[in-house]
């Protein structure tokens, strides 16, 4: 679903004159350089977008990787391809005299699969420019772009724009002979949309290259307010299918109704036992270990500008769940979400039977205090507490004869734990301060509600990480007609420059 | 599902010598006639089965009807086709000197649709004979048949065999110059498997022809015990789909989990509110008006021979619902059965979303005290009591903005009420007594659990009705490889003769 909320991009960032006067010296020349080099920046992005980048398309993936090596080399990086069992990681290192730290930037160069017929342009890999309702045009060659113009192409926002923005930020600083304040490492993932299977294994071979003081993840959409955004974490994800078994096969609902137990009814009762009407999870220990927010955290969370009424209207929902009526507070806790449910048939195909089974597909969004394995075990314990005998496969006759209530829980193997970095960490604090001074008060998100496949990589590396998303929130991420608002590209360069100068 | 319970056909009916001595005089010659005329009886059935009879096949339906007219004429009936807006009803009347009453026999000559490829024989309309594991043979021409042999063909059991059995019973009595004790009317439905839409309208045109003292419905399978079976009623059926609405479209379960309410979770809670863990319906007034059984009814219900353990084993269920652990007692009450359930996707297609809606397909098996319209209204009231605003169509933006909990109930239009005739009625008592004297103690079912489309016809006619099912319980009714055990055909003739002599 595309959120149809209007963001006031033109008003953000709001900068009082008094504040502008205090901007660091590098800001004005950087903005001037960006304004003067829009043609070059857009051209470089369009060249990169023109190389198809679905993770399974090995030939084009390597063309992307080789192209990126050259882009990095042009900025003075020592680039290389880190080979893996899957797609290559593109790595580059740029040492800076007098560096105060080492930053590891992460982006990904693969994109979601495409259904070209669903796009409003001939190919998702032939980028087009659209401004308002005007016809699509060739995006190359303009000296100046309307910041409201958008480039439409797969990965325009997710996640090639940040790579070009980082390069442009380096170019801009260099043009004014301003050095970054950190050594720069960059790693570009070629399998993020395929869950990044090669990242953690790469640590075994390349740990020294990957070591840094702070990882900066350039991915995802900026806060809807249009302000610079820093996210200090992301929730994890565990997925569990729960099946309640009924009779061996569907039985006649007339002949046996009121006598043979109904597995759909039982699944309903089981799900109802897991959550109260306000949305509070009732599984024992589900929220264990989650302390309340510190006063600082409370201030940070409550400072996130959020138009709840507009979001609810956009979703067509009158009221949020009452357990956590504020969205940012809701994100403190893990979720238990029924993402799908099935039993026999409804509609034209419905038959008057007691079904043979009923299944709910559940996803659990994890927080740092609630790792996947423990949560799945708590869910299993809850189901047992409701009187169920748990099986690992379809129950055999002996099991059916012995246990009245039989259920199966299947946990998906690719669960991802949450990560969360402290906003008080000296490196993250320096990053936020630099953005604040250069641009204005950023939106500070204690955690994203969603999940990033990079989380296990962060955990394995063991140093702090933050996400700095820069692209427009309404970029149609993962969908057809993915796009990038050019104002976000240009402003993102300044945001990244602030990180380089932190 | 085919119930894989072995019935002791060879032991039923168990008749003590002392009892045999008291059998009415017509019984022995009738049995002898049946034994001597198996070739003729089977041949006449096979001729009828060879005419395809799917209700939508108008040409062959009329061939069936015309063939049946001739069969009836041969027994002295004055037969005719009663034309309707759909398939013709075959009607016949046979007046008997000194008749004590008029019986209206009902059967149907149409059959369920067929998928010939799923049958183990070339065509469902080319009947074959099978005995044990022997190869299929032509069913015609044997002087004697193994009672365990079965004829495989569409409608062999459902419902052409009873028509032939009735004709054979008349032939048998006639051969011994024994008159039926009642005037006989017969009506043969050509659309039973299509819900009998023409029966009730036919009353407007043909009420005088259809009037009788008792309707005897020859349809359905005999009790699994193999004993003669009389059913005094059948539960009705109402169908309702309940949809709980969530956000306008699925929303990201990470970004909005714990905040946007989940309609699958809410549907689960709603269903759980309707029934307790023992299977007791909690909808207010659901069982209103249902008095306890009288001592006579209790004796009758408890006398039904039922091997609950064998049934549960066959179904693969350890225990029945605890509200009504005895099946025959469970049938006293209406059911609330979740026959299907759906929300978004499970399995490989599952997505990490909060679904946009969740739907449960419910069937309610009705009893005489609980007519469809009132029950659906009680269900609606229950949903409202759970805080839902009910809509008649997908909710618009204003409705979504106003109501937090929104649901839609869609009741199917073709609900069928229950019917139930008193076992104490003089006509039904005479029928049961006659069967008891001729064959042995019948199984008396206060009501069938399932539903018969003839129920509105019974209600509209206004005189008592009973079902006397005679075919084997394991006849694969409505499925491929429908069959008739010949022992049931031959014994059914004696049962029907007992009704003719009641």
Read off the tokens for B447: 């009501």
Instruction: Using an 8 Å CB-CB cutoff, list chain B residues near A260.
Output: 315, 317, 320-321
Residues 437-456 of B with CB under 8 A from A: 448-451
**What pLDDT does B292 receive?**
85
Of B345, B365, B395, the CB nearest to A340: B345
Phi-psi region at A258: left, alpha or beta (left = phi > 0; alpha = psi -120 to 50): left
Q: In this complex, do B241 and A346 lie within 8 Å of one another by their Cβ atoms?
A: yes
A-B CB pairs within 8 A amount to 308
Phi-psi region at B235: left, alpha or beta (left = phi > 0; alpha = psi -120 to 50): beta
**What pLDDT does A78 receive?**
97
Q: In this complex, do A404 and B341 lie within 8 Å of one another by their Cβ atoms?
A: no
Domains of chain B in start order, with CATH, are: 9-234+419-500 (3.40.630.10), 236-290+333-411 (3.30.70.360)
Q: How far is residue A373's CA from residue A36's CA, in Å, rounded to a whole number?
A: 53
**What pLDDT does A305 receive?**
94
**What pLDDT does A140 receive?**
97
Of B272, B344, B363, the CB nearest to A340: B344
Instruction: Using an 8 Å CB-CB cutoff, list chain A residues near B445.
Output: none
Of B7, B69, B271, B45, give the one whose Cα is nearest residue B151.
B45
Q: Which residue of A has its CA nearest to B257?
A: A335
Q: In what order do the strands lie in the sheet with B229-231?
A: B78-82, B89-94, B183-189, B102-108, B214-217, B465-467, B229-231, B443-445
Q: How far is residue B138's CA from residue B132's CA, in Å, rounded to a whole number?
A: 15
**What pLDDT does B19 receive?**
55
Instruction: Using an 8 Å CB-CB cutoff, list chain B residues near A273.
Output: 272
Nearest Cα of chain B lies from the Cα of A110 at a distance, in angstroms, of: 21
Cβ atoms of A151 and A49 within 8 Å: the answer is yes
Cβ atoms of B455 and B416 within 8 Å: the answer is yes
Nearest Cα of chain A lies from the Cα of B48 at a distance, in angstroms, of: 29
Q: How far is residue B49's CA from residue B164's CA, in Å, rounded to a whole number?
A: 11
Length of chain A: 502
Nearest Cα of chain A lies from the Cα of B285 at a distance, in angstroms, of: 17
Q: In this complex, do B404 and A317 lie within 8 Å of one another by their Cβ atoms?
A: yes
Q: What global pTM score does this model have?
A: 0.90
Q: How far is residue A121's CA from residue A137's CA, in Å, rounded to a whole number?
A: 10
Measured in degrees and rounded to the nearest 5, phi and psi for residue B331 equal -75, -10
The 8-class DSSP code of residue B85 comes to S
Of A259, A265, A361, the CB nearest to B338: A265
**What pLDDT does A348 receive?**
83
Q: Which residue of A has its CA nearest to B355?
A: A339
Helices (H), B214-341: 253-256, 263-274, 295-302, 308-315, 327-330
Burial B192-220 (b: 16+ CB within 10 A, else e): bbbebebbeebbeebeebbebbbbbbbbb
- DSSP assignment of B341-353, as one string? EEEE--GGG--SE
Q: Write the CA distances from B375 to B272, B379, B455, integer angstroms.
A: 18, 6, 17
The 8-class DSSP code of residue B88 comes to P
Q: In this complex, do B365 and A319 lie within 8 Å of one another by their Cβ atoms?
A: no
Question: How high is the ipTM of this complex?
Answer: 0.91
Cβ atoms of B322 and B279 within 8 Å: the answer is yes
Residues 141-160 of B with CB under 8 A from A: none
Q: How far is residue A323's CA from residue B286's CA, in Å, rounded to a whole number?
A: 33
Q: How far is residue A442's CA from residue B90's CA, in Å, rounded to a whole number?
A: 84
List, for residues B16-40, the tens digit of each pLDDT value. 445 556 899 999 999 999 999 999 9
Residues 369-428 of B with CB under 8 A from A: 395, 397, 400-404
Residues 201-240 of A with CB under 8 A from B: 235, 237, 239
Q: In this complex, do B365 and A253 lie within 8 Å of one another by their Cβ atoms?
A: yes
Q: In this complex, do A320 and B260 lie within 8 Å of one another by their Cβ atoms?
A: yes
Whether A327 contacts chain B with CB within 8 A: yes
Of A338, A382, A370, A475, give the one whose Cα is nearest residue B270.
A338
List chain B residues with pLDDT less than 70: 1-21
Q: How far is residue B140's CA from residue B142's CA, in Å, rounded to a whole number?
A: 6
Q: Write the CA distances from A341 to B314, B331, B346, integer angstroms.
A: 27, 29, 6
What pLDDT tens digit does each residue of chain A (502 aa) get? Answer: 344 444 444 444 444 445 556 899 999 999 999 999 999 999 999 999 999 999 999 999 999 999 999 999 999 999 999 999 999 999 999 999 999 999 999 999 999 999 999 999 999 999 999 999 899 999 999 999 999 999 999 999 999 999 999 999 999 999 999 999 999 999 999 999 998 999 999 999 999 999 999 999 999 999 999 999 999 999 999 999 999 999 999 999 999 999 999 999 999 999 999 999 999 999 999 999 998 899 999 999 999 999 999 999 999 999 999 999 999 999 999 999 999 999 999 988 888 999 999 999 999 999 999 999 999 999 999 999 999 999 999 999 999 999 999 999 999 988 999 999 999 999 999 999 999 999 999 999 999 999 999 999 999 999 999 999 999 999 998 889 999 999 999 999 999 999 999 9
As a whole-number percent, the residues of chain B with pLDDT over 90 amount to: 92
Residues 253-282 of A with CB under 8 A from B: 253-262, 264-265, 267-273, 275, 277, 279
Instruction: Using an 8 Å CB-CB cutoff, list chain A residues near B244.
Output: none
Read off the tokens for A224: 């809807």
Q: In this complex, do B339 and A350 lie within 8 Å of one another by their Cβ atoms?
A: yes
């Amino acid at each position: 679903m595309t959120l149809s909320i209007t963001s006031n991009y033109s008003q953000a960032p709001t900068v009082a004159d008094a504040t502008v006067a205090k901007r660091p010296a590098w800001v004005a020349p950087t903005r001037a350089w960006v304004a003067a080099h829009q043609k070059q920046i857009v051209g470089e992005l369009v060249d990169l977008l023109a190389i198809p980048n679905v993770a399974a398309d090995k030939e084009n993936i390597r063309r992307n990787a080789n192209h990126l090596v050259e882009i990095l080399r042009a900025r003075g990086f020592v680039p290389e391809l880190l080979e893996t069992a899957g797609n290559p990681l593109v790595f580059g290192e740029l040492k800076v005299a007098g560096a105060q730290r080492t930053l590891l930037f992460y982006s990904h160069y693969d994109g979601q699969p495409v259904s070209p017929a669903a796009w409003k342009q001939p190919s998702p890999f032939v980028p087009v420019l659209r401004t308002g309702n005007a016809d699509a045009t060739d995006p190359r060659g303009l000296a100046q772009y309307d910041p409201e113009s958008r480039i439409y192409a797969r990965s325009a926002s997710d996640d090639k724009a940040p790579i070009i923005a980082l390069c442009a930020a380096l170019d801009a600083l260099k043009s004014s002979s301003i050095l970054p304040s950190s050594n720069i490492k960059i790693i570009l993932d070629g399998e993020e949309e395929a869950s990044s299977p090669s990242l953690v294994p790469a640590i075994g071979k390349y740990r020294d290259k990957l070591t840094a003081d702070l990882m900066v993840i350039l991915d995802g959409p900026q806060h809807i307010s249009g302000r610079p955004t820093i996210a200090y974490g992301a929730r994890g994800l565990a997925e569990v299918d729960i099946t309640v078994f009924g009779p061996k096969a569907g039985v006649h609902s007339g002949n046996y109704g009121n006598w043979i137990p109904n597995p759909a009814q039982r699944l309903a009762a089981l799900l109802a036992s897991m959550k109260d009407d306000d949305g509070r999870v009732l599984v024992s220990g589900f929220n264990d270990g989650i302390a309340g927010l510190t006063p600082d955290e409370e201030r940070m969370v409550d400072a996130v500008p959020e138009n709840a009424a507009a979001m609810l209207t956009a979703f067509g929902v009158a009221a949020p769940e009452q357990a956590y009526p504020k969205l940012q507070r809701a994100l403190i806790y893990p979720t238990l979400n029924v993402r799908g449910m099935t039993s026999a048939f409804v509609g034209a195909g419905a038959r008057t039977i007691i079904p043979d089974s009923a299944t709910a597909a559940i996803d659990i969004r994890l927080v740092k205090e609630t790792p996947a394995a423990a949560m799945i075990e708590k869910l299993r314990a809850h189901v047992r507490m409701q009187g169920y005998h748990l099986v690992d496969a379809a129950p055999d006759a002996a099991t059916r004869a012995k246990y009245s209530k039989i259920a199966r829980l299947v946990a998906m193997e690719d669960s991802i734990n949450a990560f969360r970095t402290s906003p008080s960490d000296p490196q993250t604090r320096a990053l936020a301060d630099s953005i604040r001074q250069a641009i204005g008060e950023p939106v500070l998100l204690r955690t994203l509600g969603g999940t990033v496949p990079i989380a296990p990589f962060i955990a394995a590396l063991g140093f702090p990480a933050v996400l700095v998303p820069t692209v427009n929130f309404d970029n149609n991420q993962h969908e057809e007609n993915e796009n990038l608002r050019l104002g976000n590209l240009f402003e993102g360069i300044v945001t990244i420059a602030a990180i380089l100068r932190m």
